[in-house]
Every structure is written in C-alpha cells, then in structure tokens.
Amino acid sequence: MSTREHLATAVSRAVADVAARDGLDLSVEPGSVHLERPARREHGDWSTNIALVTAKQAGTNPRALASALVDQLNAQPPAHTVSIEIAGPGFINFRLDDGWLHDALEELLTEGEDAFARPDVGHSERVQIEFISANPTGPIHVGNGWWGSYGDALARVMARAGYQVSREYYVNDTGGQIRTLGESLLARHHGQVVPEGGYHGDYVAELALAYDGPDEVTAAGRWAADRILDLIRNSLASVGITFDEWYSQASIEESGAVDETIALLDAKGLVFEQDGATWFRATELGDSRDRVLRKSDGDATYLAGDLAYHRDKFLVRGFDRVIDVFGADHHGQVASLMAGIEALGVDPGRLEVKLGQMVSLVDGDETVKMGKRAGNAISLDSLVADIGPDATRILSLMTSLDQASTFDLAAVREQSVENPVFYVQMASARIGGVGRKALERGVVRAPLSEVDLSLLTHERELDLIRCLEELPEVVADAAIDRAPTKVTAWVRRLATCFHGFYHDCPILAEDVDPALTQARLWLVEATRIGLAIGLGLLGVTAPEAM
RNA sequence: GCCCUCGUAGCUCAGCGGAUAGAGCAUCGGCCUCCGGAGCCGUGUGCGCAGGUUCGAGUCCUGCCGAGGGCACCA
C-alpha cells in the first residue's frame, strides 16, 4: 500500500472517530477532499483540506476541527510520520521522514514497468475514442496529425488507467466528396481538366495513371478513397497512431441504419417534411435550429449518417462512453449531435466532444496555417520528414487541446534546445550510458533485496524519487481530465530531476561507496521505468543512445 | 447579429477550487581533470476589465472588451 493510501486511510479513520465522538456531520462530497503534496515544501510532504471542506456543515470552525483531527491522528500516527501540523486557514500538513520515499521507490521497482502506475480509475468502462476521421480525399495534413496525437495518447492513457478503450476512425467513404473525387480522378484519367471544386493535387494525377476500373464516378471515387486511405494509414503509423476500427460510413448507409434512425426519430414525433426535405426537430432538444436529415434529392445528410453512426456506437455496439475528437471548425455539429442522440434515448452525458483549437505552424517568417481548407496546409508526412516522429508527437502533446497555439518549426529544427524531445531523450540516453559504463567497469546491479535504498539521502535523489512517486496519480489525472498533456509535463519534470541528480550524484565514480552505487543504480533503473511508461503513453521513443 | 472556444511573463506555453501562479526561450552571470555540457546553477517580470459565488477564484457564474472558429438540403 502506498504512503498516500496509508495517509488517506488514517485520515478517514480520524474523521470517523471525531464525527462519532462529537456527533458531527463530517460527510463529504466525493472529490471535494484532497490529499495532496503541498506546492511549498515547508508545508510538509502531504496535506489535506478536509477540515476546510467540512467545518461549515459541522457547525464548527476549520482550525478547531483540524485540531481535533490532528489529536486523533497523533493517537495512531501513520507510518513515517514526523509531525502533523495545522497551517493557514485549516490545512492539516503531514511531515514525513525520508523512509516514505524509499518505500515508494521499492514499490515502484517491485511492480516494474508493466504494473507500476496502473491506477484503476476506469473500472473497465468501455470507451470508444473516435479521432481524426479525415475524409479520404487527400493526404493527411498537420492539423489532423496534431489532434490525432491527442486522441492516440488519450487512448493510451485511458487504457493504462483501467478503461477498455477502442480507437476508431470514421471513414467518410460516401456522399458528395467521394463523387467529386471520382470526377476528378476520371477527368485526369482521360486527360481532361479537373472540374471546378474538384481535387487538383498531384496525388490525384498519380492515382489516375494507375486506375483501371470502370468509367463510373462513384466506383472511381471509392477506388481512389481506398488508395488514399492506405496513404493516410501509413502517415499515421509513422507517428505511432493506430486504430482498432476503421468504420465505413458507406456500410452504415447500406445497412439501412440511416433509414431506421430517421424512423426512430419520426416515431417520437421529431421529424417533419418541408420543401421536399426531411427535417429533424432539433430545436426541441436545445439546438439553435432544425436540421435536414434527408435532402430533397433523397440523399441522407451528414447529420443523418452521424446519428445512425452514434446510435450504432451506443445502442448496437454498447459503448458506455464515447469521446469524439473534432477540430474546432466542426463545433457547429455538436449541438445537433447531442440533440440527436438524446432523441434516440442515449444520455448525452455519455458523449464527450473534445474540440481541438486551431494550431498554427510558423516556419521562420512564413506562416503555415493548418486549417482544412487552406491550400497551403502542409502534409503530416512533410512535417515528420522535417523534424521526425518523436518531435512531432511531443510538440503536439505539449499544449492543451483547447488552447490555440503556434509553433515555430525553424526554432525546433535549428535550435534543438527549443525542442523538448531532445531534453527528455537525453535523459534516456544518459540512462543507457550508465548501463554501458557499468558493464564496461564490471559493475553489476545486485538484487533489490540486498540493496539499501535508504542510502539515498541527497536532495537530488529525494527529488527524483518524489517525481517518480507521482506518476500513478499523473496517469489517473490525465485519464480523468482527458488531458495527456499532463503526462508530457510530468515527463519533462522527470527529465529535469534526473539531469539534476546525474549532475550532482556520481554513480560509478571510484570514490563512491559501492553500496551507494548500488542504490543509485536502482534509482537510475526506476527512472528508466518511469520514462519508459511516460514516453510510451505519449508515443515517443526512449532511445538508449543518441 | 446569434452560438462555441480561448485571453496567464517580452515570446511560446503549463497550471486538480487551495497556502507566496510556474516552465522553456530570450537577457545577464557562474560551472567542463568528473558516468554523454544536447547538461547543471543563479538572475525578474504576469492571470484582458468589472461584478458575483466560496473559508479560499487564474480556475466556477454574469456582463463587458479582445482573438479565433462556426451559423448549408457541404462533409
């Protein structure tokens, strides 16, 4: 059991005892009570706000309540307690001896890369994360890769935090864009000019050369879309983004699910005909206007397909929760989608829509906008060729999804210090270097049970352990908040702590006590494990040499 | 006009309702007989504005100002 859990148990017991003894109502709202590491070290190693949260309802003041709780805690102090103090408005601060850190390190090493930092906050909830879902009408651009990194890392984080995660790409392989793609392909194939509004890219010309199918627009469009989808798949795989499911919109339409979905809405009196089109009375459910489901030409709209698709996610495939990652330019869809699933009997709280803000890349003086319709949007492939897959991933996971941001490629490329991937990977390389040097000098790591970790008393060592000890909570928070950037921040903190340790604490030098060398080698191993887990969640490699 | 998202340091960005708001870059200045100096240490500035909720607000609510995006029988 971790120190955190020990403390939490002790606090709960003290609260129960005081509540019973004094007849106080000390019940709390879930999530309102925190047991956390104070921001300032002089406030101790751990702190809780429980007295602040419960004093009012108990009809007492926070400091008096804290005092009663501290007395109760002191009667049976948790392991490693040096002192328990009341501070500020009524925080209860725990000061512990360094042994709690040595315990934490041993626990990490015992659990290892696979078992450490697997907080079960998901309780096996089945979650589908849909992301990217770019139309297969052209190569994937940087914006898709950017938000794709978010979706992929979120999937990794949530999977580690105990969710059953399925990653899905919704393939829009039907409708007007595919017809347009087919027209463009056939035009090129016959050496004609690509029609107005068609796709002009070189990839269309290349595909046209290879095309040997029928002279029919939809068939040609589907054929081209399949080929382009392969390109997209490869581009995404190059930055470590993979999917469990590539779900075809055409398959939904052909299955009759769209008609069924419209019929379901109709049965609830939410459908009407006007101007030859079929409409969804979305305003009944909070949307700003009613929406067309079936156009007067008989085709289903994107919304109709999307509602059928989400009905499939929730009611056919039975996901407990669905997370859709869209670009901010699609936020206009959200209200209709929410209204639609609610009309279909799905609690809208089960659908989370994450909107990625626009991200701009600047290359020196040149601005490269990543918007979909910008003609100068650079492809994901060219960015990866430029700065590499690891830098692409970590840069895209440095900023939160809902923060519009700008990155300077020239800075990333020319001044490597601007690029955090070097800083973090150097820690990894140094760890590899320690291993190689140890081998060279014939130093072998002794079994953990024979090593005295309590020799680690240098402030740099303790800071490093403190950082490592946080990882399970970082993973939990990142999963709960749907914020993989928290893992990025942690990995950078860990690298900072490791570089500091490495700088001040020689591991293999001649004048280091062999027992201390052993303890430090295990601390290095713990750091390797932490980095491997953290970088793994981000989809960034942890090289042993650079 | 209506809707959504966002305004944090000179720049690029972090920040779970908690105690004195953090990093990197940039500025200036230290540290290489030492396991990778792509490193380490020091140096000072800030929550758009105004109210509200709260023991406590950068964080939640309202209004205003500013930026981006959206308001199709396109996807």
Here the ipTM equals 0.94
Which pLDDT value is given to residue A371?
45
* Three-state secondary-structure class, residue A245: strand
Q: What's the CA gap between A18 and A9, in Å, rounded?
A: 14
Nucleotide nearest residue A423, measured CA to C1': B38
Nucleotide nearest residue A178, measured CA to C1': B75
Nucleotide nearest residue A362, measured CA to C1': B12
Q: Quick one: how far is CA A11 from the chain centroid? A: 32
Which pLDDT value is given to residue A280?
95
The CA–C1' separation of A500 and B39, in angstroms, is: 9
Amino acid at residue number A422: F
Q: For B32, which residue's CA is nearest its C1'?
A: A503
The CA–C1' separation of A288 and B2, in angstroms, is: 9
Q: Is A331 within 8 Å of A204 (Cβ atoms)? A: no
The CA–C1' separation of A121 and B48, in angstroms, is: 37
DSSP string for A9-59:
HHHHHHHHHHHHHHT------TTT--EE--SSGGG-SEEE-HHHHHHHHHT
Nucleotide nearest residue A360, measured CA to C1': B68
Q: For B31, which residue's CA is nearest its C1'?
A: A503
Nucleotide nearest residue A505, measured CA to C1': B35
Nucleotide nearest residue A399, measured CA to C1': B13
Q: For B2, which residue's CA is nearest its C1'?
A: A288
Q: Report chain B positions within 7 A of protein CB atoms.
A: 2-8, 12-16, 18-20, 22-26, 34-41, 54-56, 68-75
The CA–C1' separation of A252 and B17, in angstroms, is: 45
Amino acid at residue number A505: C
The CA–C1' separation of A477 and B16, in angstroms, is: 8
The CA–C1' separation of A471 and B33, in angstroms, is: 38
The CA–C1' separation of A295 and B62, in angstroms, is: 41
**Regarding beta strands A126-130 and A164-171, do their DSSP bridges make them parallel or antiparallel, or are they unpaired?**
parallel
Q: For B13, which residue's CA is nearest its C1'?
A: A399
Q: What's the CA gap between A150 and A399, in Å, rounded?
A: 10
The residue with tokens 């039975």 is A318
Which pLDDT value is given to residue A227?
95
The CA–C1' separation of A21 and B6, in angstroms, is: 50
Nucleotide nearest residue A62, measured CA to C1': B55
The CA–C1' separation of A141 and B9, in angstroms, is: 33
Beta-carbon count within 10 A of A282 CB: 24
Give the bridge partners for A91, in sequence order. A87
Q: Is A139 within 8 Å of A236 (Cβ atoms)? A: no
The CA–C1' separation of A27 and B14, in angstroms, is: 34
Q: What is the mean pLDDT of each run of 10 residues along chain A (546 residues)?
A: 89 92 83 85 92 88 93 94 93 95 97 96 96 90 88 96 96 88 93 87 91 93 94 94 94 93 95 94 88 92 94 96 90 90 92 86 67 58 89 89 79 64 91 94 95 96 95 94 93 94 93 95 97 96 90
The CA–C1' separation of A64 and B56, in angstroms, is: 17
Q: Is A271 within 8 Å of A259 (Cβ atoms)? A: no
Which pLDDT value is given to residue A369?
55
Q: For B73, which residue's CA is nearest its C1'?
A: A295
Domains of chain A: 3-97 (3.30.1360.70), 131-249+357-415 (3.40.50.620), 419-538 (1.10.730.10)
Q: What's the CA gap between A421 and A419, in Å, rounded?
A: 5
The residue with tokens 């589908």 is A128
* Closest listed residue to residue A393, CA positions, set A416, A419, A374: A419
* Closest listed residue to residue A66, CA positions, set A48, A96, A92: A92
CA distances from A365 to A368, A387, A415 (A): 10, 18, 16
Which pLDDT value is given to residue A414?
59
